[in-house]
C-alpha cells in the first residue's frame, strides 16, 4: 500500500476528546454482543476498529451512533443536538457560515440517530444505502437538510428564504462532491455510478451533515486496490480538514497504515488497544484470527506487519 509522507502526518494526540464510550454493553436476549467496551476518540484522530467476524464491531458502532440503545454503559459526545440554525441571507449565501461548531463539553447522547446526527456525528453503513434513483448531487443535498431551517410551509410556498437555503444547500453539496473527487458525477444517478464512487458519495452525504466525527463501516468492502488507495487518501483528507474518524475494516494493511490507534474486539470484548504497531505485534491479535476460518485476515495481520516495517525503514532512510 502506498502511503506518502504527507499523508502520514503525526497523530494529533492529546487533543480534546470528541467521543467517550464507557462500559458500553449490548445484549440481544441471551447473546452478549458487546461487553463493557471503552473507547475515547480525540480531535483529529483516526481510530480503527478490527476483529474477526461477529466480534461486535457493527453493534458497537450502532450503539455509538444511536441506532441501538446500549443495555449498559454510556456514550458521551462533545456536542449537544442543536436545532437547525436560522439562516440569515448572509449565511444562506455563504455555505461556509454554517459549518462545524467548536467542540463543546462531553455530554451524554440520547440514543436517537437524528439527535446524534444533529450533535455532529455521521456514519456510513457496511451495505451502501444511497437513494439509487436520485442524482449524486441530490443524494448529498438530502444529507444537508438536517442543517437547514425551512419548515414545511416555507418549502411548499417556495418563498425567498426557501430559495436562498436551497441554493446554499446545492452549492455546499457540489463543494462536497468536489472534495470527495466526484465533481464530474454531479448529475449521474447513484445506481449507475461505479461501486467505488458510490462509496465516496456515501461519505459526501455523511459530510453534508457537518460532523465533527465520522464513522465508516467497512469503507473499502468490495473495492479494488486502486479504489482502496483512493479511499485511504480521502480519509486522510477528511482528517486533515479537522474531523475525527473511526473506521471498521477487515483489510488489515489498510487499517494499520491509516490509523493513529486501533482497538481490536473479540467476542464482544476489547482485546487490545494501541498504536498500529502495538496491535499488529500483539500475539493475542494473531491468535484471535486463528481458528476463526478467516485465514486471509490472519495472513494480513502478519503481512501488514512486514509492510509497516518497510514504511518505517523507508522513513528512517529518508
Ligand atoms: N440485531 C441483532 N439481533 C441479534 N443478534 C445480533 C444482532 N446484531 C448482531 N447480532 C449478533 O451479535 C454478534 C456481533 O455481531 P456484529 O455484526 O456486531 O459483528 P461484527 O464484528 O460487525 O461482524 P462482521 O465483521 O461480520 O460484520 C454476532 O453474533 C451477531 O450475530
Q: What is the pLDDT of residues 221-244, one digit of tens each?
A: 888 899 999 999 999 999 999 999
Tens of pLDDT, residues 159-198: 666 777 788 889 999 999 999 999 999 999 999 999 899 9
Q: Residue 284 corresponds to which cell in the numbers above?
A: 493475542
Rounded distance between C-alpha atoms, residue 113 and residue 192, angstroms: 28
127 vs 216, more confident: 216
CB 59 less than 6 A from any atom of ligand 1: yes
CB 290 less than 6 A from any atom of ligand 1: no
CB 35 less than 6 A from any atom of ligand 1: no
- Percent of the chain past pLDDT 70, that is, above it, reads 73
Last residue of a domain, one of 211, 240, 255: 211
Query: Dmax of the chain from CA atoms?
Result: 65
Grid look-up 437513494 returns 131
Could you tell me if 306 and 284 are in contact, meaning their C-beta atoms sit under 8 angstroms apart?
Answer: no
Bridge partners (DSSP) of residue 264 are: 50, 272
Q: In which element (H, E) is residue 209 found? A: none
pTM of the model: 0.81
Q: Residue 170 corresponds to which cell in the numbers above?
A: 446545492
Q: Is residue 170 part of a domain?
A: yes
Residues 236, 192 share a domain: no
Residues 44, 28 share a domain: yes
Last residue of a domain, one of 182, 211, 240: 211
> Which domain range does residue 144 map to?
83-104+129-211
Length of the chain: 318
Number of domains in the chain: 2
Last residue of a domain, one of 211, 237, 259: 211
What stretches of 110-220 adopt beta strand conformation (E)? 121-124, 213-217
CATH number at residue 67: 3.40.50.300
Amino acid at each position: 500500500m502506498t502511503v506518502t509522507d504527507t499523508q502520514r502526518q503525526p497523530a494529533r494526540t492529546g487533543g480534546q476528546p470528541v467521543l467517550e464510550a464507557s462500559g458500553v454493553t449490548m445484549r440481544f436476549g441471551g447473546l452478549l454482543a458487546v461487553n463493557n467496551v471503552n473507547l475515547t476518540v480525540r480531535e483529529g484522530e483516526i481510530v480503527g476498529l478490527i476483529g474477526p467476524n461477529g466480534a461486535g464491531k457493527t453493534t458497537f458502532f450502532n450503539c455509538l451512533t444511536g441506532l441501538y440503545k446500549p443495555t449498559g454503559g454510556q456514550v458521551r459526545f462533545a456536542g449537544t443536538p442543536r436545532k437547525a440554525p436560522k439562516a440569515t441571507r448572509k449565511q444562506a449565501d455563504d455555505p461556509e457560515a454554517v459549518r462545524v461548531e467548536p467542540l463543546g463539553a462531553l455530554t451524554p447522547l440520547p440514543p436517537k440517530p437524528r439527535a446524534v446526527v444533529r450533535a455532529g456525528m455521521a456514519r456510513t453503513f457496511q451495505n451502501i444505502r444511497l437513494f439509487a434513483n436520485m442524482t449524486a448531487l441530490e443524494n448529498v443535498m438530502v444529507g444537508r437538510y438536517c442543517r437547514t431551517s425551512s419548515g414545511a410551509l416555507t418549502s411548499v410556498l417556495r418563498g425567498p428564504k426557501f430559495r436562498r437555503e436551497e441554493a446554499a444547500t446545492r452549492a455546499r453539496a457540489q463543494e462536497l462532491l468536489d472534495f470527495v473527487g466526484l465533481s464530474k458525477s454531479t448529475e449521474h444517478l447513484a445506481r449507475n455510478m461505479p461501486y467505488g464512487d458510490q462509496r465516496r458519495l456515501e461519505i459526501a452525504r455523511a459530510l453534508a451533515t457537518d460532523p465533527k466525527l465520522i464513522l465508516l463501516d467497512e469503507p473499502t468492502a468490495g473495492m479494488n486496490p486502486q479504489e482502496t488507495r483512493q479511499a485511504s487518501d480521502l480519509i486522510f483528507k477528511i482528517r486533515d480538514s479537522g474531523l475525527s474518524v473511526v473506521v471498521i475494516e477487515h483489510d488489515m494493511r489498510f487499517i494499520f497504515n491509516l490509523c493513529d490507534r486501533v482497538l481490536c474486539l473479540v467476542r464482544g470484548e476489547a482485546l487490545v488497544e494501541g498504536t498500529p504497531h502495538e496491535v499488529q505485534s500483539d500475539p493475542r491479535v494473531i491468535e484471535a484470527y486463528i481458528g476463526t476460518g478467516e485465514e486471509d485476515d490472519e495472513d494480513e495481520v502478519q503481512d501488514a506487519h512486514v509492510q509497516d516495517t518497510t514504511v518505517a525503514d523507508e522513513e528512517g532512510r529518508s
